[in-house]
A and B are shown apart, each in its own frame.
Chain A
């Protein structure tokens, strides 16, 4: 039987939705499930890890693991993978996952895949699908051994309602710190904001908004909707928006129920980050903008005129 080890995605002490999504998929393909959680003071997350669908919980809980460091995190995962006898090792989509997965694969000398959107098992045979070349193609890939490390693309797997697991805690010894790459400080993103990757609605602002006043206008729409607030690389490069809000190939991959692209042209690198959204609304004054090729609903117009009306109309129906 396949054995899936999922790396728990923990952010600011909260277990993110990808963990239950990956464990659900593991169960759906008939695999035995385990989770590995790494951090400091994470003991209280055990019930969440169980409820997310894991039958074994490998826990690396140590002050030295407070801040993310790829080397020691990889050591914890390799340790858990060996103890569990994992055949599939899955990371939710994150920068940490992308940094650690290749290390784990190199240390275990097994195949590595970034951004998988599907996986199929046929006995010991593993096959997966993933986008490549800025989402221009999909690849179907056959693994030549019985093990695979993979980062799963955001939104690829859905959590099964009512999923649960059993508690079976295995404590891991904390590995030595990486003394050759010492993390000194994290200049953290503002707390209390809605996490883009978890948001049900995402409103993103592009260069069409021009400046802070334009951004503020679109941000108000996001706030009304309690939506995640994203942007494009053009706005990040211009210094208007912090990096962690960038949606796209080099930013966050999002797949919300509703994505609103406001004043965004729709470059392929941006599309690569949001094309998986269920419904896309675009507002752009250029009727030829490529964003309209992927938008379910496109409003051709000036965002400075359209956004205030959008807010009013949404307020009306919310009241009704």
Chain B
């Protein structure tokens, strides 16, 4: 089984972030592998260990931090890494990324694509699903377990609105995974050392056999006009001291001041 796992460099959400003049202040930010993509990588490595799957990651983007994300995948146990780096892809949205990933998929004969449920920078949750539409492949999103049934079928569990759905999927297929699927392993020193020397297959659009028009079509479907700092909640009140006394006081406030009880 050949697995393609999509991974993205995202801003570290645990660090402070500021907005100035409608833009995010870059200074002080750091970049990491998208949390959901770490789960996707872990899922594909588990399939390698259990079912002898061949593992490849692909990322769209350029720069040192993107390379680090690919190397982190290697250090966790991924075999091959592809980087699509082309200035024409700056500002790519989910549709453009999906078109690029489609080209990558078509070059590789993969049986399964594993994407993260969503990227921590966009919070979109669109790319994997749109990719499946473009490829005409079955797709199950929000997956929390993957089991190989045979060469042509997997069984997945998906968190849905009505409980956990058990779905049998014919391969090739696309799944997007939730953080609940596994606990991503931490790269070990040995893996990190090996990862440094592993080759990354870097391609631009031309090398991929795609033109700008192929992936961007008639242009982006939407544009971010500006970023806005969310309104902070007004500072509340903290009550410390004798539990019986403060609890009674707070209940009184919930009733008489906030009027919510």
A181 and B139: CB pair below 8 A? yes
- Dominant SS among interface residues on chain A: mixed
* Contact for B173 among A94, A148, A181, A309, CB less than 8 A: A181
Chain B residues with CB under 8 Å of A112's CB are: 94-95, 124, 126, 130, 221
Chain B residues with CB under 8 Å of A142's CB are: 222-223, 225
Q: Digit string of B209-231 for contact with A (CB within 8 Å is 1, else 0)? A: 00000000001111111111110
B-binding segment of A26-34, A40-48, A131-139? A131-139
B165 contacts A by Cβ under 8 Å: yes
A194 contacts B by Cβ under 8 Å: no
Find residues 128-176 in chain B having any chain A CB closer than 8 Å to their own CB. Answer: 129-130, 133-134, 137-142, 144, 155, 159-170, 173
A119 contacts B by Cβ under 8 Å: no
A98 and B141: CB pair below 8 A? yes
B254 and A297: CB pair below 8 A? yes
A300 and B165: CB pair below 8 A? no
Find residues 87-137 in chain A having any chain B CB closer than 8 Å to their own CB. Answer: 94-96, 98-99, 101-103, 105-107, 110-115, 127, 129, 131-137
Q: Digit string of B95-135 for contact with A (CB within 8 Å is 1, else 0)? A: 10010000000000000000001101111111001100110
Name the residue in B117, B179, B219, B258 with the highest tally of chain A Cβ atoms < 10 Å from its Cβ.
Answer: B258
Q: With A95-B159, A114-B124 given, is the CB distance from A243 to B221 under 8 Å?
A: no
B180 contacts A by Cβ under 8 Å: yes
B178 and A134: CB pair below 8 A? no
* Contact for A243 among B125, B159, B225, B243, CB less than 8 A: B159
A292 and B221: CB pair below 8 A? no
B167 and A127: CB pair below 8 A? no
Nearest CB of chain B from residue A195's CB, rounded to whole Å = 10
A-binding segment of B10-18, B68-76, B186-194, B200-208? B10-18
Chain B residues with CB under 8 Å of A236's CB are: 180
B167 and A183: CB pair below 8 A? yes
B236 and A298: CB pair below 8 A? yes
Q: With A144-B221, A180-B169 given, is the CB distance from A133 to B243 under 8 Å?
A: no
What CA separation (Å) do A98 and B221 show in the bound complex? 18
A199 contacts B by Cβ under 8 Å: no
Chain B residues with CB under 8 Å of A244's CB are: 159, 163
Nearest B residue to A267 via CB reads: B14
A298 and B237: CB pair below 8 A? yes
Question: When A and B form their complex, which 4 residue pairs have the shortest distance between CB atoms, in order from nearest?
Answer: A180-B138, A188-B163, A106-B133, A111-B221
A-B contact sample (6 more), CB < 8 A, given A181-B138, A292-B236, A296-B234? A95-B142, A133-B17, A187-B166, A233-B180, A296-B237, A299-B250
Q: What are 7 of the A-B contact pairs (CB < 8 Å)? A: A98-B142, A99-B142, A181-B140, A297-B237, A297-B239, A299-B247, A313-B248
Residues of chain A at the chain B interface (Cβ within 8 Å): 11-12, 67-68, 70-71, 94-96, 98-99, 101-103, 105-107, 110-115, 127, 129, 131-145, 148, 178-189, 201, 225, 233, 236-237, 243-244, 249-250, 257-258, 268, 275, 278-281, 287, 292-302, 305-306, 309-310, 313-314, 317
